[in-house]
Amino acid sequence: MTTPPSDERPARSDRSPWNWLLLVPIVIPLVPALYNSDEPRLLGFPLFYWLQLAFIILGVTATTIVYQVGKKRSGR
Amino acid sequence: MSDHITEIVVFTILFLAVSGMGFVAARWHRPDNLASLDEWGLGGRKFGSWVTWFLVGGDLYTAYTFVAVPALLFGAGAMGFFALPYTIVMYPLVFLVLIRLWSVSHVHGMVTPADFVRARFGSPTLALLIAITGLMATMPYIALQLVGIEAVLKTMGVTGDLPLIIAFAILAAYTYQSGLRAPALIAFVKDALIYLVIIVAIIYIPARLGGWGSIFDAAKAKFDASPAPGDGIVLNPNNQLQYVTLALGSALALFLYPHSVTGVLAARSRGVVKRNMSALPAYSLLLGLIALLGYMAIAAGIKPITANGKADANTVVPLLFDKMFPDWFAGVAYAAVGIGALVPAAIMSIAAANLFTRNIYKEYIKRDATDAQEAAVSKIASLVVKIGAVLVILLIDPQFSIDLQLIGGVIILQTLPSVGLGLYTRWFHRSGLIAGWAAGMAAGVLMLYNVANPATSHAHFGGSAFPLAKLGLDTKMTIYAGFLALAVNLVVAVAGTLLARAGKVADGVDATRPSDYVADEGDPRVHEIELSGSH
């Protein structure tokens, strides 16, 4: 084998301060005090439903940012 | 039956067309041969972002979900909506974990979570326990997919066991022939149909029922009038802890299921996995809207079909479609549910078969099995698993499968310290993990046994909401039993590890290296395995 053992190659790392951003969509949807109410309604949806549906955006945003930052850092 | 004839014809045509796709899937990106687990069981390990998105999505959001989650909202209200925060917190939670699993699995040619545990902790016993837990949790899940098809057939007035047997025989045949390629290809159609049905449903049905506001008002009126204390369109002080722990516990559990791991390992690179973690929440939106079908059913005055004096809440969604849609479109909607059952059932049976082959057959029966022998055993195991699932549904009360699936979620969570935490730390001692697993399993099953549900006249296994009052606490609050069992597991695992270290009990050898956990497509070691694995 001519390939060098992978230990000698520059180490790749998953560490990044941006990873902490992932905590936001993990913690927020698990705090019922934020959304456990009928009012105010939006398009007929009680707060309980529309706000939790809106939390999806939070999840998509955080994972997308962490993915994009990671991609730039590893130069690909 | 005659008034459902259009529905039955549309359903049958779509179902058969999709089954035909399952058979030709074997030719899709055809390898030299399908006779290895990498090819049959993981589709050659080279699915890109799109295929992975459909595959994992088709895998996680099952027909049972589409039928059971709205049924939960129909019956209990806000509590059933836990499925939404569950799928929102899941992806950020596992984002960094799954890419480590992907890397280490590709460096070492691992196919199942138990393979990883075997290499990481050097303990065949622990690996066997993890494999058995996976099998026990997956089997009832496969059986439950049949409950989804059954609910649709019941609504169309089709009775008897034969249609179910035929549907599963077709599924078994094409999974046998095409392996993971079959559900991957069918998942496209399944999702297209489901998106179509849901988009139509959320525009068309509320318009006929007087808008979203009146749908929620009708649900509120129903729950206000019902004598049950826990229902309502918002949570009450006693079930908030249950809501949160059930959402978090389910999110932690989902990627411990062998079939979810199968979908992830079939991805081509870490980038594909990451991109999917940010794209899969599109399904959460779908799930949240599907859940609300339960309230639409309330507003539309749907009464579930009763058989032997027991109301089958799982029929409310099919009945809603029957009442609201023209016949032909109701047929399309039923086909979406039916096909929606086939994709996860195929992936689950493949995952269960891989577990049996890698962690029981190869470990204990035939250590020098070749790639071709492994694939052959897996194909037969996948058949056995499916026949078992059909027999369970036909011979035993379907309620038994629902109970088992409930237990499945709690027990799969007990593999978290070995698999999930194991990806990050080698601190735990194998004896500690085994003791923790045993304690968590015992605690979980014991707690579920003690949950009664007066609504379904169940004295035991009545749900996953464990009343804290049973622990001597003066409260009416409930908590997800799996969550508490996991806490017991972790405490015992930590204590056991400290004891084993103090007693100088021999620990297993770690066959993985830190760099294995960040390896990616194109790295020499990742490539090496693929070459030796599939050719």
CATH number at residue B375: 1.20.1730.10
What length does chain B have? 535
Q: Which tokens in the block code for residue B397?
A: 């009360």
Q: For residues B199 and B349, is the Cβ–Cβ distance under 8 A?
A: no
- Collect all residues of chain B within an 8 Å Cβ-Cβ radius of residue A3: 524
User: For chain B, what is the domain count?
Assistant: 1
Q: What pLDDT, on the 0 to 100 scale, is given for residue B84? A: 92
Backbone dihedral region for residue B522 (phi beyond 0: left; psi -120 to 50: alpha; all else: beta): left
Q: What pLDDT, on the 0 to 100 scale, is given for residue B85? A: 93
A25 shares contact with chain B (CB less than 8 Å) = yes
Any domain includes B510: no
Q: For residues B157 and B135, is the Cβ–Cβ distance under 8 A?
A: no
CA geometry: angle at B389 spanning B442 and B150, to 5°?
Answer: 115
Say what the pTM is. Answer: 0.86
- Collect all residues of chain B within an 8 Å Cβ-Cβ radius of residue A63: 91-92, 95, 274, 277-278, 281
Q: For residues B69 and B290, is the Cβ–Cβ distance under 8 A?
A: yes
Residues of chain B with pLDDT under 50: 1, 527-535
Backbone dihedral region for residue B467 (phi beyond 0: left; psi -120 to 50: alpha; all else: beta): beta
Touching A: B residues 217-236, CB under 8 Å: 220, 233-235
Q: For residues B476 and B467, is the Cβ–Cβ distance under 8 A?
A: yes
Q: How many CA atoms lie within 13 A of B2 on its CB side?
A: 0
Any domain includes B470: no
Instruction: Name the phi and psi angles at B41, rounded to 5.
Output: -90, -20
User: CA–CA separation, B464 vs B478, rounded Å?
Assistant: 9
Any domain includes B238: yes
3-state secondary structure at position B61: coil
Q: What pLDDT, on the 0 to 100 scale, is given for residue A11? A: 57
Among A26, A38, A71, the residue with its CB nearest the CB of B233 is: A38
Any domain includes B462: no
pLDDT tens column, A48-69: 999 999 999 998 898 888 888 8
Between the alpha carbon of residue B271 and those of residues A71, B116, B185, B189, B512, the distances in Å are 8, 21, 21, 25, 22
Q: For residues B225 and B66, is the Cβ–Cβ distance under 8 A?
A: no
Q: What pLDDT, on the 0 to 100 scale, is given for residue A6? A: 44
Q: For residues B390 and B296, is the Cβ–Cβ distance under 8 A?
A: no
Range of the domain at B140: 34-402
Q: Which tokens in the block code for residue B130?
A: 């993890």
Backbone dihedral region for residue B122 (phi beyond 0: left; psi -120 to 50: alpha; all else: beta): left
B interface test, pick of A26, A37, A72 with most B CB neighbours within 10 Å: A26
Among A30, A32, A38, the residue with its CB nearest the CB of B248 is: A30
Q: What pLDDT, on the 0 to 100 scale, is given for residue A22? A: 87
Q: What pLDDT, on the 0 to 100 scale, is given for residue A5? A: 44
Place of tokens 């779509």: B14
- Collect all residues of chain A within an 8 Å Cβ-Cβ radius of residue B215: 44
- Collect all residues of chain B within an 8 Å Cβ-Cβ radius of residue A29: 84-85, 88-89, 247
Q: What is the DSSP letter of B310?
A: E
Query: Between A and B, how many residue pairs show a Cβ–Cβ distance under 8 A?
Result: 121
Any domain includes B450: no
Any domain includes B348: yes
User: CA–CA separation, B375 vs B371, rounded Å?
Assistant: 6
ipTM score for this prediction = 0.84
- Collect all residues of chain A within an 8 Å Cβ-Cβ radius of residue B524: 3, 6
Residues of chain A with pLDDT under 70: 1-12, 74-76
User: CA–CA separation, B486 vs B415, rounded Å?
Assistant: 9
Place of tokens 């999709």: B18
Q: How many CA atoms lie within 13 A of B131 on its CB side?
A: 26
Between chains, do A44 and B519 touch, taking CB under 8 Å as contact?
A: no
User: CA–CA separation, B99 vs B143, rounded Å?
Assistant: 30
Closest CA to B356 of B122, B76, B136, B66: B136
Touching A: B residues 414-473, CB under 8 Å: none
Any domain includes B67: yes
What does R_g of chain B's alpha carbons equal in angstroms? 23
B247 shares contact with chain A (CB less than 8 Å) = yes
Q: Which tokens in the block code for residue A63?
A: 């994972």
Q: For residues A25 and B89, is the Cβ–Cβ distance under 8 A?
A: yes
Q: What is the DSSP letter of A4?
A: P
Any domain includes B456: no
pLDDT tens column, B30-73: 666 666 777 776 766 767 777 777 778 777 777 777 788 888 89
- Collect all residues of chain B within an 8 Å Cβ-Cβ radius of residue A23: 92
Cα of B214 to nearest chain A Cα, Å: 8
Q: What is the largest CA-CA distance in chain B?
A: 74
Q: Which tokens in the block code for residue B142?
A: 């496969």
Residues 6+ apart with CB under 8 A from B241: B477, B478, B479
Q: What is the DSSP letter of A9?
A: S
